Amino acid sequence: MKKNTFIALLFIASSSISAQKSDEQMLKEVYNSALTNSKSYAWLDHLSNKIGSRLSGSAGAEKAVVYTKAEMEKLGFDRVYLQEVMVPKWVRGEKETAYILDNKTKITVPICALGGSIATPKKGITAEVIEVNSLKELAELGKDKIQGKIVFFNRAMDAAQIEAFHAYSGAGDQRYAGAAEASKFGAVGTIVRSLNLRLDDFPHTGAQGYGDIPESQYIPAAAISTNGAELLSKTLKSNPKLKFYFKQSCVQMDDVLSYNVIGEIKGSESPENIMVVGGHLDSWDLADGSHDDGAGVVQSMEVVNIFNNLGYKPKNTLRVVLWMNEENGLRGGKKYEEISLLNKENHILAFESDSGGFTPRGFSIEGDAANFDKIVSYKKLFEPYLIHSFVVGHAGSDIGPLTSKKIIKMGLKPDSQRYFDHHHAGNDTFDAVNKRELELGAGTMASMIYLVDKYGIVN
Amino acid sequence: MKKNTFIALLFIASSSISAQKSDEQMLKEVYNSALTNSKSYAWLDHLSNKIGSRLSGSAGAEKAVVYTKAEMEKLGFDRVYLQEVMVPKWVRGEKETAYILDNKTKITVPICALGGSIATPKKGITAEVIEVNSLKELAELGKDKIQGKIVFFNRAMDAAQIEAFHAYSGAGDQRYAGAAEASKFGAVGTIVRSLNLRLDDFPHTGAQGYGDIPESQYIPAAAISTNGAELLSKTLKSNPKLKFYFKQSCVQMDDVLSYNVIGEIKGSESPENIMVVGGHLDSWDLADGSHDDGAGVVQSMEVVNIFNNLGYKPKNTLRVVLWMNEENGLRGGKKYEEISLLNKENHILAFESDSGGFTPRGFSIEGDAANFDKIVSYKKLFEPYLIHSFVVGHAGSDIGPLTSKKIIKMGLKPDSQRYFDHHHAGNDTFDAVNKRELELGAGTMASMIYLVDKYGIVN
């Protein structure tokens, strides 16, 4: 080997070792900051306990816009601003009531209207019930069996799935499309088993849509707690002629003006390349939305707090975006993309946290193979933090609409086992979030964003 | 290549592929059984909610012996039996009281006696407080500064640690040895910050020992909640002359007879080789001990339920052992080893679950390098179940005393972030255990035991 070649190789080897060492050191400092010097838990405490639920168009949502904008302004962004977006406003109205009428016995069960549902008539709906386990079974039964009845969708989430999100995907069509499909066969209402792997008494709301059926054919749709579903199913077996009563007062109002909240740090080297990190500011109305998605909101803000603590200035532009209306319209995500197109922006990374504030396990990644491989090449760096799962998969709803010449989208992948115990239900509250788990998630996000900022993406 | 060699290689390759395939299928069935057909959660419900706390020598501990023996007898073991063991009996007595006397202001704070501590005099102890952060600092201060005072050990668990157990290890000496050390310098009592990473109002008990100091020099030792510790420390800064009052009535009684509960399935091929799986039946007295270690108890029993569901008969002898007295004496673990030596038994595997019923992440392994490597070679099989952490480390206290010609010891390694929120405190209750997380742990244990049973260990 020639001396020059040797020296060159030595240089490459040593600079690569030093780069490696420095990443390890940087990640250590990032996690250290996340675990010992974080604002995220206090922010979440405020969002959850001082503001509370934040359904699009609600007073809570507007307070959350004002609060997070003010908090972001303290973080030293180059610019913090609101992005106008018209959002749907759906209001639950008075608490729903429901009971099973088993001959003369009246058994109260916990239900809640699904988001976007119409109300029942003021006196409620009373009808016989037909239990089905799928949209396919519904269609097979047809009009004869369904006309005039309440359809009870009772397919449980598949407990055999290891990832709870897979169990959710496998059962979600009943909630989202059940009412529209049942209406086609003359049903007068639908009751869906809550999307919850646990047996308990919380009904879980969530978006449903009437698709393209005419408005005159809309029927009320509600969710019943898993214990309620078990009881209804069991009672139906002994008395198929039982009746079910439910009443809900929800109403879809006109769209109202709301906002995405955006904070921007201009990149020191390549300001034209934008990295966005965020969660959604809106939540369902039954609780505080602490996991869904208060956690993602405060973790995204915490990424900047961590960079501030470490004196790290990103080379690319970094935007924290708190989207409005993920739950029932995705208007915020769509608006962000619309404005980005107008401004001919170039996003290289979109990172969303919207899977709960539980212990982070890895990343769910959308991107081409070269960029996926590049992300996976950082895996070793994450081992000390027990981050091990780098998979191709859904990155996030709000970043779904975003397009760019070349972009990596990533979602934080926390442990999923407890998520659906709380998702869209009355117990998605602050006490269900563990401070360290939340902070580890923020550290994981900041670490990955640091690496993408430093090493870029494959164009 | 000669034809025979080719055929031989083909045979090896195909049989190796088929073995591999079958392991994958077996693990799938194991986890499926764990998640859809488990008795573990119902057992834990009974242990926690019908029996409750199970401190050695208590009525709860004895009920737990009777209950688990009866439940094991339903599982079709070849033999279920009790192994006699004399255990210490420590009784807390009436609830402790404590307050800070800041001039004329009396601020009540939550404390509990540490296990093994002596009582205060009936009228309690009132004394000035000296705050220290380590046994080293205590020694440096010496008799002059400590004589006549209550020593307040306030070193927090290190939040920067990723694994909560590492943070626990780093702070535990204050609890275990604090009173004995402080007594040497004339302290009249000790108050230790609870070993909890979270700020809350639960005092956490746990074993402490007086070492070899004479009984006349024993001083009362208590734990204070983390919020209480913060308050005491803060108040001390403004008023170093404040006084602290505490009263506790605990008493160490004579040893009493108790039992390890053991179920045994004779191995179909190598009955002389024993695999033991277990957890400890005793718990601290402040709550149900659902995580510590009700979870480990029911997961160990569930291993056999899973094998029954799948019709799997182990080749080696399989023992489920529910040890008594892990918390304050380890007498059960020592007795098990004593009897094993007497009977000249050969253990090849000891597997303990005693780190909580949270989402399993991997295994903590004690064994020689060859066996460690052999265990790690199964890693790929566990990937679908998000089990990723195979590390050298403490396997379990109850299996600590066990010796054998050649043995692998393993501990289930669940996610640790929430463990110390509940550990030894009043909130170690059934509602803090998630059914799926508990079940995934049992599936992980059964899977590993299946693999060790099938492939043996390196002798």
Residue-level pLDDT at B4 = 52
| Interchain proximity A359–B417, CB inside 8 Å | yes
Report residue A305: phi and psi, to 5°: -60, -40
Q: Are B404 and B359 within 8 A, CB to CB?
A: no
Q: CA-based angle A361:A364:A365, to the nearest 5?
A: 140
| Interchain proximity B159–A389, CB inside 8 Å | no
Interface of A with B in 155-184 (CB under 8 A): 159-160, 162-164
Q: Are B303 and B116 within 8 A, CB to CB?
A: no
| Interchain proximity B385–A162, CB inside 8 Å | yes
Residue-level pLDDT at B16 = 47
Quick one: pLDDT band at residue A15, thresholds 50, 70, 90? very low
End-to-end CA distance of chain A: 35
**Nearest chain A Cα to B34, which residue?**
A160
Of the candidates A370, A350, A345, A373, the one whose C-alpha atom is nearest the C-alpha of residue A459 is A370
Instruction: Summarize pLDDT for A143-184 with one digit per residue, the tens.
Output: 999 999 999 999 999 999 999 999 999 999 999 999 999 999
Of the candidates B220, B229, B253, the one whose C-alpha atom is nearest the C-alpha of residue B96 is B220
Set of chain B residues whose Cβ sits within 8 Å of the Cβ of A388: 386, 388-389
Task: Give the C-alpha distances (Å, rounded to integers) separating B288 from A66, A427, B326, B379.
Answer: 44, 23, 15, 34
User: Residue B119's CB: how many other CB atoms inside 10 A?
Assistant: 17
DSSP secondary structure letters along B412-432:
EEE--TTHHHHTTSTT--GGG
- C-alpha to C-alpha distance for A259 and A273, rounded to whole angstroms: 23
Quick one: pLDDT band at residue A12, thresholds 50, 70, 90? very low
Q: Catalytic one among A326, A352, A366, A439?
A: A326
Of the candidates B431, B439, B356, the one whose C-alpha atom is nearest the C-alpha of residue B164 is B356
Q: Is B7 helix (H, G, I), strand (E, B) or coil?
A: helix
Q: Catalytic one among B29, B326, B327, B345?
A: B326
Cα atoms in the Cβ-side hemisphere of radius 13 Å centred on B252: 18
Interface of B with A in 397-416 (CB under 8 A): 415
Q: Out of B388, B417, B440, name the one closest to residue A434 (CB).
A: B417
For residues A376, A378, A381, A386, the Cα torsion angle rounded to the nearest 10 degrees is -30
Set of chain B residues whose Cβ sits within 8 Å of the Cβ of A386: 162-163, 361, 388-389
Interface confidence, given as ipTM, is: 0.94
Residue-level pLDDT at B195 = 98
Partnered with residue A364 across adjacent β-strands are A391, A411
3-state secondary structure B177-237: HHHHHHHHCCCCEEEEECCCCCCCCCCCCCECCCCCCCHHHCCCEEEECHHHHHHHHHHHH
For residues A284, A285, A286, A289, the Cα torsion angle rounded to the nearest 10 degrees is 50
- Residue A18, pLDDT > 90, answer no
Residue A98 has what DSSP assignment?
E
**Nearest chain A Cα to B434, which residue?**
A418
Instruction: Summarize pLDDT for A81-95 with one digit per residue, the tens.
Output: 999 999 999 999 999
Q: Is B442 helix (H, G, I), strand (E, B) or coil?
A: helix
Residue B1 has what DSSP assignment?
-
Set of chain B residues whose Cβ sits within 8 Å of the Cβ of A163: 386
**Residues near A212 by Cβ (< 8 Å), separated by ≥ 6?**
none
- C-alpha to C-alpha distance for B354 and B220, rounded to whole angstroms: 28
Strands (E), A94-135: 97-102, 105-108, 111-113, 125-132
Domains of chain A in start order, with CATH, are 27-90+254-455 (3.40.630.10), 96-249 (3.50.30.30)
- C-alpha to C-alpha distance for A159 and B443, rounded to whole angstroms: 13
User: Is the preceding omega at residue A293 within 30 degrees of 0, hence cis?
Assistant: yes
Of the candidates B278, B313, B300, the one whose C-alpha atom is nearest the C-alpha of residue B442 is B300
Shortest Cα distance, chain A CAs vs residue B161, angstroms? 8
| Interchain proximity A160–B418, CB inside 8 Å | no
- C-alpha to C-alpha distance for A189 and B92, rounded to whole angstroms: 58
- C-alpha to C-alpha distance for B239 and A268, rounded to whole angstroms: 50
| Interchain proximity A434–B418, CB inside 8 Å | yes
Residue-level pLDDT at A21 = 56
Asked if A37 is an interface residue toward chain B (Cβ–Cβ < 8 A), one would say no
Set of chain B residues whose Cβ sits within 8 Å of the Cβ of A421: 434
Residue-level pLDDT at B449 = 98
Asked if A384 is an interface residue toward chain B (Cβ–Cβ < 8 A), one would say yes
Task: Give the C-alpha distances (Å, rounded to integers) separating B380 from A251, B20, B27, B376.
Answer: 52, 10, 11, 9
Helices (H), A322-368: 331-342
Set of chain A residues whose Cβ sits within 8 Å of the Cβ of B24: none
Q: At what angle do helices B135-146 and B172-184 cross, to 10 degrees?
A: 30
Asked if B197 is an interface residue toward chain A (Cβ–Cβ < 8 A), one would say yes
| Interchain proximity B436–A415, CB inside 8 Å | no
- Residue A323, pLDDT > 80, answer yes
Residue-level pLDDT at B44 = 98
**Nearest chain B Cα to A437, which residue?**
B417
**Nearest chain B Cα to A432, which residue?**
B432
Asked if B92 is an interface residue toward chain A (Cβ–Cβ < 8 A), one would say no
Set of chain A residues whose Cβ sits within 8 Å of the Cβ of B164: 436
- C-alpha to C-alpha distance for B38 and B306, rounded to whole angstroms: 7
| Interchain proximity A159–B436, CB inside 8 Å | yes
- C-alpha to C-alpha distance for B96 and B115, rounded to whole angstroms: 13
User: Is the preceding omega at residue A398 within 30 degrees of 0, hence cis?
Assistant: no
Output the average pLDDT for chain A. 96
Cα atoms in the Cβ-side hemisphere of radius 13 Å centred on B445: 44
Q: Out of B32, B164, B437, name the one closest to residue A160 (CB).
A: B32
Instruction: Summarize pLDDT for A202-223 with one digit per residue, the tens.
Output: 999 999 999 999 999 999 999 9
Residue B49 has what DSSP assignment?
I
Set of chain B residues whose Cβ sits within 8 Å of the Cβ of A160: 31-32, 35-36
Q: Report the residue of B386, B389, B419 to disrupt the A interface, i.e. the one with the largest count of A CBs within 10 Å.
A: B386
- C-alpha to C-alpha distance for B55 and A101, rounded to whole angstroms: 48
Set of chain B residues whose Cβ sits within 8 Å of the Cβ of A381: none
Set of chain B residues whose Cβ sits within 8 Å of the Cβ of A415: 359, 415
Set of chain B residues whose Cβ sits within 8 Å of the Cβ of A434: 198, 417-418, 421
Q: Report the residue of B35, B389, B436, B439 to disrupt the A interface, i.e. the one with the largest count of A CBs within 10 Å.
A: B436
Asked if A200 is an interface residue toward chain B (Cβ–Cβ < 8 A), one would say no
Tokens representing residue B212 in the block: 């070899």
Interface of A with B in 56-85 (CB under 8 A): none
Instruction: Summarize pLDDT for B298-342 with one digit per residue, the tens.
Output: 999 999 999 999 999 999 999 999 999 999 999 999 999 999 999
Tokens representing residue A56 in the block: 């699009």
Catalytic, A326? Answer yes
Cα atoms in the Cβ-side hemisphere of radius 13 Å centred on A57: 17
- Tell me the pairing of strands A79-91 and B105-108: unpaired
Residue B115 has what DSSP assignment?
B
Q: Out of A160, A385, A435, name the one closest to residue B198 (CB).
A: A435
| Interchain proximity A440–B415, CB inside 8 Å | no
Stretches where chain B sits below pLDDT 50 are 1-2, 6-7, 9-20
User: Residue B394's CB: how many other CB atoms inside 10 A?
Assistant: 17
Cα atoms in the Cβ-side hemisphere of radius 13 Å centred on B205: 29
The number of helices, as runs of H, and strands, as runs of E, in chain A is 13, 16
Shortest Cα distance, chain B CAs vs residue A248, angstroms? 31
- C-alpha to C-alpha distance for B109 and B245, rounded to whole angstroms: 10
- C-alpha to C-alpha distance for A50 and A235, rounded to whole angstroms: 42
The amino acid at B136 = K
Residue A215 has what DSSP assignment?
G
Residue-level pLDDT at B21 = 55
Of the candidates A99, A124, A129, A369, the one whose C-alpha atom is nearest the C-alpha of residue A242 is A129
| Interchain proximity A386–B440, CB inside 8 Å | no
Q: Out of B389, B415, B436, name the one closest to residue A197 (CB).
A: B436
Q: Report the residue of A417, A421, A435 to disrupt the B interface, i.e. the one with the largest count of B CBs within 10 Å.
A: A417
Task: Give the C-alpha distances (Å, rounded to integers) separating B263 from A7, B68, B304, B309, B317.
Answer: 67, 10, 10, 17, 11
Q: Out of B32, B164, B359, name the one closest to residue A415 (CB).
A: B359
- C-alpha to C-alpha distance for B169 and A74, rounded to whole angstroms: 38
Residue-level pLDDT at B340 = 98
B89: left (phi over 0), alpha (psi -120 to 50) or beta: beta
